[in-house]
Structure 1
Amino acid sequence: MRRYEHFSENAVQAEGITPLQYLLLLHIKGFKDREWATIGELAERLQARQHGVVALVTRCEEAGLVERRTHAEDRRRVEVHLLPAGEAILTRLAQVHRDQLRALQGVFTIPDLP
């Protein structure tokens, strides 16, 4: 398991982002029935303090991976949206991780992948 985690960290860093930035992108993408998340929701999912998530979002925004938008109905809420560059990184990393899991079949008990 640790070998896979190490592989994942290296794959993420090869994309020019940190593992924490990758997790942020995954959590934004993972919201069902919508394409954004609030800072509070991300803090909860990452088990981090809000001010730390604000700084993380700022770094991702500066890298062109995400964008903050004011909520249409509640101007106090800020939505964090993935930008095409963030989506592209997630797509590439999903393929790399899928390939690695396929390579590990037989080493661990892993269900068949599509």
Structure 2
Amino acid sequence: MPLSPTALGKSDFTTLSEFRYQMRRFERFSDDVIQTHGITPLQYLLLLHIKGYPGRDWATVGELAERLQAKPHGVVALVTRCEAAGLVERRHSSADRRRVEVHLLPEGEALLAKLAQLHRTELQSLAGVFTIPTVAGEQHE
């Protein structure tokens, strides 16, 4: 059963508002710094999700589509643009030739490392400001 709006107090709305505000500030910072390095925010996320895929340094288009919450055909186009920019390459899997893996190239690795460092520094500057809000009746550990 959903909570009625009256079950939330002013401080709950203030906390949620502040959380969304800080999240949006970080997104704006991210978009600006990424674009000054010549790629789009979506291209950065693709590189990040390839490198950050659990257990390995590559991912399939389907896995990337899930991470990006996008349609596979859109991710194929994104991979194609990143491939043309020399950031990634497609490789057929040695285990299953039907599977195509997307790998970072050295230029993509270097760009991602630089951008990730800038993002980490910005996140560290938000320590104590960017907190997970709790809503009445919830507790986070």
> By the TM > 0.5 criterion, same fold?
yes
TM-score (norm 1): 0.87
* Ranges in structure 2 where 5+ consecutive residues have no aligned partner: 1-21, 132-141
Q: Deviations over 1:8-40 (max 9, x none)?
A: 100111111100011111110111221110111
Answering whether residue 96 of structure 2 is matched by residue 74 of structure 1, we say yes
**Within 1, Cα distance between the matches of 2:130 and 2:78?**
35
TM-score by length of 2: 0.71
Give the direction of change, closer, same or farther, for the CA distance of 1:109–1:47 in structure 2 (3 Å limit): closer
Alignment root-mean-square deviation, CA:
1.4
Q: Distance in 1 between matches of 2:72 and 2:47?
A: 16
Equivalent position of 1:61 in the other structure: 83
DSSP 3-state at the match of 2:102: strand
Gaps of 5+ in 1: none
Is 1:87 the counterpart of 2:109? The answer is yes
Amino acid at match of 1:72: S
- 1:12-91 matches, cutoff 5 A: 12-91=34-113
SS for the counterpart of 1:80 is: strand
Q: 1:51 to 1:109 in 2, by over 3 A?
A: closer
Quote the Cα distance in structure 1 between the aligned partners of 2:95 and 2:125: 47
Q: Report the Cα distance in structure 1 between the residues aligned to 2:55 and 2:67, rounded to whole angstroms.
A: 17
Larger Rg: 2
> 2:91 aligns to what SS in structure 1?
strand
Which amino acid in 1 is paired with 2:86?
G
Alignment of 1:93-108 (within 5 A): 93-105=115-127, 108=129
CA distance in 2, matches of 1:96, 1:86: 15
Q: What letter is aligned with 2:116?
A: A
Distance 2:127 2:65 in 1: 34
Number of residue pairs aligned between Structure 1 and Structure 2: 109
AA matched with 2:57: E
Of structures 1 and 2, the one scoring higher in RCO (CA 8 A, sep 6+) is 2
